[in-house]
C-alpha cells in the first residue's frame, strides 16, 4: 500500500513539476510581481520557495523548505527533483511528501536530500541522478500547478 501511495505522489509531483517547468519557461513574471485574475479582482502574489541550507550540501543533509504565497488549505507535493528533459522532471520517490498549506498559504517542512538517487518521471521512466553532474531543485506544486522550485547546490 505504501509503495502505491508513493507512486501516486511521484506521478503527481513529476507531472506538476514538468508542466510548471514548461509554463515557467514560457512565462516568467518579474520578481515580486502580482497578477489580478479577471474573474475575481483579487491580487495574488507568486509563490516563493526557499530551502535552508541550499548550498554546500552533502548526502543525507536535512534541509528546511519554506513556501509562501500558496493556496490556503491546498495539498502540495514536495520533493527533490532534476530536469531530465526540457519537459520532464525526475524526482526522488523515497523522500517526496505531501504537505497541506496553512490558512495563510505557507508551508514549512524538513526534507533529507540526497547527492545521488534514482529519479522517477511522471511517465514511469527512471533516471540516475548525480548532483555532481545534474543540478537538482526542491519542487513544491499542487494539482493545479500552483507552486515553484528553488535550486540546490551540493
Residue 20 has pLDDT above 60, yes or no: no
User: Which pLDDT value is given to residue 128?
Assistant: 98
User: Does 148 map to a domain?
Assistant: yes
User: Does 133 map to a domain?
Assistant: yes
User: Which pLDDT value is given to residue 77?
Assistant: 96
pLDDT digits (tens, 9 = 90+) for 82-102: 999 998 999 999 999 999 999
User: Does 84 map to a domain?
Assistant: yes
Q: Which residues contact 42 (CB under 8 A, 6 or more apart)?
A: 36
Please give the tally of structural domains in the chain: 1
What b-and-e string marks burial along 35-70, b requiring 16 or more CB atoms within 10 Å of the CB? Answer: eeeeeeeeeeebbebebeebeebeeeeebebebbbb
- Look-up: residue for cell 515580486? 32
User: Does 34 map to a domain?
Assistant: no
Domain that holds residue 11: 2-27+47-152
Q: Residue 137 belongs to a domain with what CATH number?
A: 2.60.40.230
**47 in Cβ contact with 147 (< 8 Å):** yes
Regarding pTM above 0.85, the answer is: no
Residue 18 or 117, more confident: 117
Residue 150 has pLDDT above 60, yes or no: yes
Residue 37 has pLDDT above 70, yes or no: no
User: Does 62 map to a domain?
Assistant: yes
User: Does 137 map to a domain?
Assistant: yes
CA distances from 149 to 7, 49, 120 (A): 21, 6, 17
Amino acid at each position: 500500500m505504501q509503495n502505491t501511495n508513493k507512486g501516486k505522489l511521484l506521478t503527481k509531483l513529476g507531472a506538476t513539476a514538468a508542466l510548471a517547468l514548461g509554463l515557467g519557461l514560457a512565462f516568467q513574471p518579474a520578481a515580486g510581481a502580482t497578477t489580478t485574475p479577471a474573474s475575481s479582482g483579487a491580487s495574488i502574489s507568486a509563490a516563493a520557495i526557499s530551502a535552508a541550507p541550499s548550498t554546500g550540501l552533502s548526502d543525507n543533509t536535512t534541509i528546511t523548505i519554506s513556501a509562501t504565497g500558496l493556496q490556503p488549505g491546498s495539498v502540495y507535493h514536495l520533493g527533490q527533483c532534476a530536469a531530465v528533459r526540457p519537459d520532464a522532471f525526475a524526482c526522488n520517490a523515497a523522500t517526496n511528501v505531501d504537505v497541506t498549506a496553512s490558512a495563510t498559504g505557507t508551508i514549512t517542512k524538513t526534507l533529507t536530500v540526497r547527492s545521488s538517487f534514482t529519479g522517477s518521471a511522471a511517465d514511469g521512466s527512471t533516471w540516475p541522478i548525480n548532483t555532481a553532474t545534474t543540478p537538482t531543485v526542491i519542487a513544491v506544486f499542487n494539482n493545479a500547478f500552483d507552486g515553484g522550485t528553488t535550486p540546490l547546490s551540493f
